[in-house]
Amino acid sequence: MSLKKKTIGIAAAAAAIIATPLMAQAQTPANPYWQGAYGGVNLGGLWNSTNTSIGENNTGGGFTGSSGGFIGGAQIGYNYLLGPVMVGPEIDFQGSTLQTNVAGGAGPSTIAAQYSVPWFSTFRARAGYPVGSVMPYVTGGAVWGRQTLNGYDTAGGGYFNASNNFWTWTIGGGVEGHITDKWSAKLEYLYIGTPDSPLSTPYTTSVTGSPVGNVLRVGLNYKFY
């Protein structure tokens, strides 16, 4: 079974467990316990499909690959209730095991490499509509992270190691529910876009990158006051 299917299966089971104690409260009016600062932890999966175009050897080419990994980290944020609507910022930091084996080339050269994202952080706004203890929401913002590409390119006759920090964007949504006045759990999906400085081999003359990928995670939050 693929990592993507495992991640979705785990998330679905977690969502069912989270939903059970919340269903009885979901029809009550929004409660002020949504208001305030919170922090917590999360766990999930990250998967992608790489499709990068390059210029090399005075011709066009590229490399492709798909894979995934696990993520885990922490988040902190603040909720403001504006009438029936909740809005607020959230920042998180994620460690990642994402490793994608990519292969391709341009002209007579061939490329075999491994792409990874060891960590990233998101800076997002959330907007939701609480219905009692349950709140569906949308979210979006910026991503800052680290990416690496290690492998072999016959154009240069040797191994290469490229890495940099990048900025990109993210958009997604989720559902969060209060288990108690202080504790809440969430299920969230994010799509992470193309890095502003995509990586390739040192021998390429042009490069157009592809998305970091998809994030599906569950989280647990504690309201500070």
Give residue 70's Cα distance to chain centre: 10
- Convert the pLDDT of each residue in 39-48 to its tens digit: 999 999 999 8
| DSSP three-state, residue 82 | strand
Beta bridge partners of 216: 45, 189
Q: What is the model's pLDDT at position 31? A: 62
| CB-CB neighbours of 58 under 10 Å | 8
Q: In whole angstroms, what is the distance from residue 216 CA to residue 41 CA?
A: 14
More confident call, 23 vs 103:
103
Nearest to 165 by CA among 193, 142, 146, 143: 146
HEC string of 184-222 equals EEEEEEEEECCCCCCCCCCCCCEEECCCCEEEEEEEEEE
More confident call, 72 vs 155:
72
Q: 3-223 sits in which CATH class? A: mainly beta
Q: What is the model's pLDDT at position 34? A: 87
- Strands (E) across 134-204 are located at 134-153, 158-178, 183-192
Residue 29 clears pLDDT 60, i.e. is over it = no
> Across all residues in the chain, what is the average pLDDT?
86
Residue 2 clears pLDDT 70, i.e. is over it = no
5 pLDDT tier (thresholds 50, 70, 90)? low
- Convert the pLDDT of each residue in 137-183 to its tens digit: 999 999 999 999 999 988 877 788 989 999 999 999 999 999 988 99
- Domain ranges (residues) in the chain: 3-223
Residue 26 clears pLDDT 70, i.e. is over it = no
Q: What percent of the chain has pLDDT over 70?
A: 86
Residue 105 clears pLDDT 50, i.e. is over it = yes
Q: Residue with structure tokens 């949308």? A: 138
Q: Residue with structure tokens 């994030």? A: 215
pTM for the full predicted model: 0.82
Q: What is the model's pLDDT at position 169? A: 96
Distances (CA, A) of 175 to 15, 66, 149, 187: 9, 28, 35, 6
Q: In whole angstroms, what is the distance from residue 18 CA to residue 133 CA?
A: 12
More confident call, 11 vs 109:
109
pLDDT mean over 204-225: 89
Residue 212 clears pLDDT 60, i.e. is over it = yes
SS3 content of the chain, % helix, strand, coil (to 5): 10, 70, 20
